[in-house]
Chain A
Amino acid sequence: MWKTILRRILIMIPELIVLSILVFLLAKAMPGDPFTGSINPKSNPAEIHRLMKANGLFDPWYVQYWHWVVNLFHGNLGMSYEYQMPVVDLIKQRGMNTLWLAAFTMILTYAIGLPLGIYAGKKEGKWPDTLIRIYTYVTMSIPFFVVLVIGIWIFGYALGWFPTSGSVSPSVSGLGPTLLSRLGHIILPGLLGALFGTVNIIQYLRSQVIDSKHSAFVKTEIAKGVPTKAIYRHHIFRNSVLPIAAFAGYSITGLLTGSIFTEMIFSYPGMGQLFLNAVNFRDYTVITTLVLLYGFLNLLGTLISDIVLSIVDPRIRIE
């Protein structure tokens, strides 16, 4: 098993390097230079030229890339010229909001997906199963952002049950009320996100449960007179649920991508919204850092998932 994990980590290194080169080239391809925002438009062109030379902007790209990577390792990601503060601080600030929302969505996803998936498998072919399958079919077909828009329209504006923008109401103070207000702001986007995130879990669990239901060992247990409930609790449930843990890592990608839509529609001040703003203001340091960060998180997510899967399911290790 350690061999698999080690190999998996080794594969990660070239991927990380290619990702960083890609992000660097993206940054280079964007019009303007790092000084566009910070220098006085009246500056002398010769002075700008000197500044650019001093900062190595005329070096060959691989030299520039090297400097960029070295800076990266020192935690020096540059300044956001829109917010006039270090990108690291900016991301720390916004990242917390996105983390709140993502964690909440994740919890809801499992809270909805686990019971529904197992129940559907248990009731295979009966009406609860049909109902759950219709639900997965619908959520699989419709684009996420359309449902977010309709969701905020109905529950946010028309019924007025949930706030439609921000992460905390501006008027609240104190720890308790602030937390409550935060929760209030993430319930609707989190719930909608979870309703859409459950599809994979439900489909996987359903087929797992059906498979184990028809397997020889379950039939043996039934023949021996073990009560159905016990079989489900000890065997079917345990067999099916463990691999589900691995989905958490993979779903990071979905959560982050979804967060761009969610944060835009709910005007939620997280990293997705930060990214869209940065693109609109051409705030390049923020854009490149976020693309790199999201890529890195994707990488980490798949790595963790693969490791979890290889621990849980020995068949994967053999290859």
Chain B
Amino acid sequence: MAYEFSGRDELSDAELLELSQEAENEATPSTIRVMLNEFKADKTAMASAIFIVAFILLVVIGSFFVNVPQIMQTDLMGYYAKPFTNYILGGDSSGRPILSQLVVGSRNSILIAIGLTAISSTFGVVYGLVSGYYGGYIDLTMQRVYDFMMIIPMLMTIIVLVTIIPHYNAITLTLLLSIFYWMGTSRLIRSSSLAESQKDYVAASKVAGTSNFKIMFREILPNISSLIIVDTTLSFAENIGVETGLSYLGFGLPDGTPSLGTLIANANDPNNITQYWWTWLPAALEIILLCLAISYVGQVLRRTANASQRRGN
């Protein structure tokens, strides 16, 4: 016993502090660290994540080299050009190169999906957090608004709004969509914020006189951050479908602005769908691959958020 005590004397206070800090870090690894470990343990997830990032970079950088007005011009020489003849991926009914449209369209669709996810998730998180934290009448009122939003026939209302807004572009479209796609996130965050606000640390913080704002955003928010990351990732995959679906129907991005949805809309022509498959199939496959990869990453993150399902250490 005596020896152990003497051993302790050799450590300076600074060293002791450092050691205890290290021990603490090991006991409660940060969310980011846990997620990194999880990716290291799952090679498919790693590959998916790399694929997504590389793909986004590729289309964003690649689109700088594409002259949009030029490729959207009709070119009689490229009329339904087969792949690897005039253009690498062939041409559409107006002889416009599919590959360039695909690059610009992917950029547009992905950027809108990112913007939509950022805005709607932020709003959904704040809405759910406030609703769940305060509870009572505030929660009741906010949930009535939520219920009402759920009743509105979303797709139809968006289509009607798109047709009555006089001059809309990618930004207006993103904002418009954001009005309708925050509910899922808010529901999820509300339930965990409700559970979190019952915990002792919140009660202790309240007694200590911390402001509600600070408790919500500095204390509860970090504690549910992993959940938010998971939800955001999964919403991102979903939101790619939202914009492309709308553009597919012809109510998304305006004419002359390529999107993955407008490319798939080439399939509406029975001739295109059978004979000229290259006009729409690449875009369809791209959406499938991208959504599967993003969603896979989301599933891995979900496992990370739920300690019992982790694979890495």
Q: Identify the A interface with B (CB < 8 A).
A: 11, 14-15, 18-19, 22, 26, 29-31, 137-138, 140-146, 149-150, 152-153, 157-158, 164, 253, 256-257, 260-261, 264-265, 275-276, 279, 282, 287, 290-291, 294-295, 298-299, 302
Contacts and interface: CB of A to CB of B under 8 A. Distances in A.
Interface in B233-267: 237, 240-241, 244-245, 248-249, 251, 264, 267
Contacts of A158: 274
A140 B295 CA distance: 8
Interface in B256-302: 264, 267-268, 270, 273-274, 277, 280, 284, 287-288, 291-292, 294-296, 299
B2 interface: no
Contacts of B147: 11, 15, 302
Contact of B249 (A137, A264, A295): A264
A11 B268 CA distance: 42
Contacts of B17: none
Given A260-B155, A264-B249, A295-B153, A149 B160 contact: no
28 contacts: A11-B147, A14-B144, A15-B147, A19-B152, A26-B161, A26-B164, A142-B292, A144-B245, A145-B245, A145-B248, A146-B241, A146-B244, A146-B284, A149-B280, A149-B284, A150-B284, A152-B273, A157-B274, A158-B274, A164-B270, A260-B155, A260-B249, A275-B156, A279-B160, A291-B157, A298-B150, A298-B152, A302-B150
Interface in B97-149: 144, 147-148
B154 interface: yes
B295 A157 contact: no
B306 interface: no
B267 A149 contact: yes
B163 interface: yes
Contacts of A143: 240-241, 244-245, 287, 291
A22 B161 CA distance: 12
Contacts of B273: 149, 152-153, 157
Contacts of B144: 11, 14-15
Interface range, B side? 35 or more
Contacts of B267: 149, 153
Given A15-B144, A260-B156, 16 more contacts: A15-B147, A138-B292, A141-B237, A141-B291, A143-B240, A143-B241, A143-B291, A144-B245, A145-B244, A146-B244, A279-B251, A287-B160, A290-B156, A295-B151, A298-B150, A302-B147
B288 A261 contact: no
Q: Chain A at the B interface: mostly helix, strand, loop or mixed?
A: helix
A153 B272 CA distance: 10
B76 interface: no
B19 interface: no
Closest 9 CB pairs of A and B: A143-B241, A141-B295, A294-B153, A141-B291, A298-B151, A157-B274, A149-B267, A257-B155, A299-B151
Nearest to A300: B151
Contacts of A14: 144
Contacts of A282: 163
A298 B153 contact: yes
Contacts of B154: 257
A291 B160 CA distance: 9
B240 A256 contact: no
A22 B152 CA distance: 9
A171 B41 CA distance: 60
A318 B274 CA distance: 57
Contacts of A256: 153
B159 interface: yes
Interface string B198-217: 00000000000000000000
A287 B273 CA distance: 30
Contact of A146 (B150, B157, B264, B277): B264
Contact of A294 (B156, B163, B284): B156
A106 to B, nearest CB: 18
Contacts of A150: 284
